[in-house]
Amino acid sequence: MTTRLLTVACAALIALQGCKKEPETSAFTCPTTGVLYGYTSDSNSAAPYMPCNAGMIDLASGAIAGTTAISSSTHFNQSAYNLAENAYFSFMRSDTDNHLYKISGTGSTMLSYTGTIADTDIIDGLVYDRNHGKLLCFVTSGTSSTLCEIVISGTSYITNSIATSPDPIYNDISTADPTTGDVYFQTYDASTIQFKIRKHTYGSTGTPAVVYTGGASTQLWGLRYNPNDNMLYALRQSPGIVGTFEFVKINPSTGSFAVLSNLGININPKLLSATIEPCTDRYIFTSQDFTAPSPFFSFKMHQLDMSGSIISAMPIPKMYQGLDVRY
């Protein structure tokens, strides 16, 4: 299977403190305390295919506790928390197969499942349909990507096709509306040099609809759906200010695109993970920090409010990827 460059290893649990009550405009329920999950590499080199260590990371301090070894390596940077099974899922790779790992919500147990996806195909865009209790992913073969449901049986998993996009998913980003199960994902059309956001409507088997189209300067990273306002949020490299990134919003109903803020930071987008924590209504992302004079292997976790103001920018000892929130 094609390998994504600049991925790092291992599944980790990140405890998120002080999750506030659900906003009145929300159509979902928040617990008293929310939990943010992810994985972290075993060193600061951010090299692919490194042995894994699972553990819990305190968001306030970045400290790691309770590590557990995993004899495999990470393959993609998007993971998902399955509320129905109260477990965090992530694809990892061994020398012979792409394993799907299931880590319990407490981090105390771990199971792995083998699949039958062809080595020439790519699995990414792992996402959880909270409304229907389904774990989904994309399988890319050639120039098209197929949205699939992951079905686990015994010690193996299969992918059942749901709908196919004529252009492939791009930057390993998909996100789901927790109240409907609709899935949004970015694709790239090489024939027109355009990035698109497509929407798969739950229950449909037709081609996912295009809800936004942009040029080469609108390549997005960390696309996430916010159930508080039903908008999509992401990062993109600023086309006007070299070496900086912007926080943007896309209305999936109208296709409107707005730049909310220029963050004034330079990051490595190929080593980035993001999620929205709906209980506090924050956009959280981690990345390799390229802002001078940071060392090359320097990583930070940023928290933004939904207007794009930076609430915190905390240095972290290792790169955290596969971020997803249990709520």
Asked if pLDDT for residue 26 goes beyond 90, the answer is: no
CA gap 158, 149 in Å, rounded: 8
Q: What does 117-157 look like in DSSP terms, one character per residue?
A: --TTSEEEEEEEETTTTEEEEEEEETTEEEEEEEEEETTEE
Asked if pLDDT for residue 292 goes beyond 90, the answer is: no
Q: What does 164-221 look like in DSSP terms, one character per residue?
A: EESS-EEEEEEEE-TTT--EEEEEEETTTTEEEEEEEPTT--SPPEEEEEE-GGG--E
pLDDT tens, position by position, 76-121: 568 899 999 988 898 876 556 678 888 887 777 888 898 877 766 7
pLDDT averaged over every residue in the chain: 81
Q: Of the given ranges (6-20, 38-52, 136-150, 188-202), which has the lowest mean pLDDT?
A: 6-20
* Banded pLDDT at 326 (limits 50, 70, 90): confident
How many of the other CB atoms lie within 10 Å of CB of 297? 13
Selection from 296, 217, 275, 319 nearest residue 35 by Cα: 275
Asked if pLDDT for residue 240 goes beyond 70, the answer is: yes
Instruction: Determine the Cα angle at 299 with ends 102 and 264, to 5°.
Output: 120
Decide which of 78 and 295 is more confident: 78
* Predicted pLDDT of residue 74: 54
Structure-token pair, residue 103: 């880590």
Candidate ranges 3-12, 32-41, 158-167, 236-245; pick with highest mean pLDDT: 158-167
CB 99 within 8 A of CB 72: yes
Asked if pLDDT for residue 66 goes beyond 90, the answer is: no
Which residue do the tokens 């792992």 mark? 126
Asked if pLDDT for residue 73 goes beyond 50, the answer is: yes
Q: Fill in the DSSP letter of residue 242.
A: T
Q: What is the pTM of this model?
A: 0.88
Q: CA-CA distances (angstroms) from residue 137 to 43, 70, 78, 149? A: 28, 22, 10, 7
Q: Of the given ranges (65-69, 102-106, 131-135, 186-190), which has the lowest mean pLDDT?
A: 65-69
CATH architecture type of domain 12-326: 6 Propeller (2.120)
Q: What is the mean pLDDT of residues 220-242?
A: 94
Structure-token pair, residue 74: 């990470």
Q: What is the mean pLDDT of residues 302-323?
A: 90
How is the chain split into domains, by residue range?
Answer: 12-326
How many of the other CB atoms lie within 10 Å of CB of 259? 14
The β-bridge partners of 69 are: 53
pLDDT tens, position by position, 171-216: 888 999 999 999 999 999 989 999 999 999 999 999 999 999 998 7
* Predicted pLDDT of residue 49: 47
If 0-12 CB within 10 Å is exposed, 13-18 middle and 19+ buried, where does residue 7 land?
Answer: buried
Decide which of 34 and 90 is more confident: 90
